[in-house]
């Protein structure tokens, strides 16, 4: 049957995003067909569009969505037609009215969680889950520990602020305006640093932590924050670089880690963590529990029609978005 999807023929700017007719067939073994009620918007979509993360062309975009399962293929037992469902998953293709996709990362969406919330929270919420629960410094994290989280007023950041508060952590968030800093504080950050005013944010981190530094830095910004992130760490601290919104991290000498206090660096990805259905389900259950309990609220400030995908990317790259955004088919 014919559906609508966003496709790019070549990497480039937002103008490359085209809404076209596509054929969506029946699911094969291990697959489902899902009709979207909402699709998530994430910075990884920009990387796919501009070629930073190259995709075979022509390519479809979008890594998360929520909707209703229409059909299941052979071997799929955890879902059935009519189920409400949500996912963060490879391959890209969520910017569509409907799609066929692998079933292993698609989870039943609890009735208490809306489709828009489901679409806005899966990639971002599962990212926060693997960061705060699995990507940990030596000795782990205990209540009262300081962590530094960049882009704290974005979709991932606001979830992280709330989840960290629920864990008893003292999250120090960075953001690019006083308004965004206030938003991070309202969502559970213990401290917020406006990096446009306090350019040397590492000095501010040292001031907040009485000179000690933080146990872990969660950094999705990349090039612009790399040096300051290293300088914010306590001895034996961990820098988790999970994105590069300002560009890729430049080459560095491993000896720098020794000089700055026997530091650790990792470059984790969500898709390593959700490689199996069992792992995805366990992480998803924890995320659903946090949202259903109200400890984590998913803020959606922007809604775009699927046909306005190019505008959504312009707004995302201009850092005009607060919280999460969704595309509505």
Is pLDDT at 321 greater than 80 in this prediction? no
- pLDDT confidence band for 319 (50 / 70 / 90): confident
- pLDDT confidence band for 301 (50 / 70 / 90): confident
Is pLDDT at 254 greater than 90 in this prediction? yes
Write the pLDDT tens digit of every residue in 55-90.
999 999 999 999 999 999 999 999 999 999 999 999
Q: Tokens standing for 192?
A: 């917020």
- pLDDT confidence band for 199 (50 / 70 / 90): confident
d(C-alpha 45, C-alpha 40), whole Å: 10
d(C-alpha 172, C-alpha 181), whole Å: 10
Q: Is the pTM of this model over 0.85?
A: yes
- pLDDT confidence band for 1 (50 / 70 / 90): low
d(C-alpha 300, C-alpha 208), whole Å: 30
Q: Across residues 197-222, what is the average pLDDT?
A: 95
Mean pLDDT of the chain: 95
Sketch out the chain's domains with CATH numbers.
2-124+271-328 (3.90.180.10), 136-267 (3.40.50.720)
pLDDT of residue 329: 93
Q: Across residues 37-53, what is the average pLDDT?
A: 94
With pLDDT > 70 as the criterion, what percentage of the chain qualifies? Answer: 100
Listed in sequence order, the DSSP H helices in the chain are 43-50, 115-134, 155-166, 178-186, 201-208, 226-231, 255-259, 270-273, 277-292, 309-317
d(C-alpha 242, C-alpha 176), whole Å: 19
Q: Tokens standing for 302?
A: 């922007």
As beta bridge partners, residue 304 has 327
pLDDT of residue 2: 77
């Amino acid at each position: 049957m014919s559906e609508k999807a966003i496709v790019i023929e070549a990497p480039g700017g937002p103008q490359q995003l085209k809404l076209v007719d596509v054929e969506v067939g029946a699911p094969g073994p291990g697959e489902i067909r899902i009709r979207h009620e909402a699709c998530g918007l994430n910075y990884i979509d920009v990387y796919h569009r501009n070629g930073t993360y190259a995709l075979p062309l022509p390519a479809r975009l979008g890594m998360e969505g929520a909707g209703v399962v229409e059909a299941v293929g052979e071997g799929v037992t955890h879902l059935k037609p009519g189920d409400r469902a949500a996912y963060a998953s490879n391959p890209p293709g969520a910017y569509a009215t409907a799609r066929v996709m692998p079933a292993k990362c698609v989870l039943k969406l609890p009735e208490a969680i809306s489709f828009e919330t489901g679409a806005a929270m899966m990639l971002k919420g599962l990212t926060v889950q693997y960061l705060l629960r699995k990507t940990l410094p030596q000795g782990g994290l205990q209540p009262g520990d300081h962590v530094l989280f960049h882009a704290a007023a974005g979709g991932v950041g606001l979830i992280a602020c709330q989840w960290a508060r629920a864990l008893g952590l003292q999250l120090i968030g960075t953001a690019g305006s006083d308004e965004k800093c206030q938003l991070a504080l309202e969502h559970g950050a213990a401290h917020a640093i406006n990096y446009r005013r306090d350019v040397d944010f590492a000095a501010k981190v040292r001031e907040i932590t009485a000179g000690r530094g933080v146990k872990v830095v969660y950094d999705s910004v990349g090039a612009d924050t790399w040096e300051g992130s290293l300088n914010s760490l306590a001895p034996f601290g961990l820098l988790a670089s999970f994105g590069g919104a300002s560009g890729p991290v430049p080459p560095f000498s491993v000896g720098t880690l020794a000089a700055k206090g026997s530091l650790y660096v990792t470059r984790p990805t969500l898709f390593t963590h959700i490689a199996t259905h069992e792992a995805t389900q366990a992480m998803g259950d924890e995320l659903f529990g946090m949202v259903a309990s109200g400890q984590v609220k998913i803020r959606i400030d922007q809604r775009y029609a699927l046909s306005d995908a190019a505008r959504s990317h312009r707004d995302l790259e201009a850092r005009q978005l607060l919280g999460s955004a969704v595309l509505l088919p």
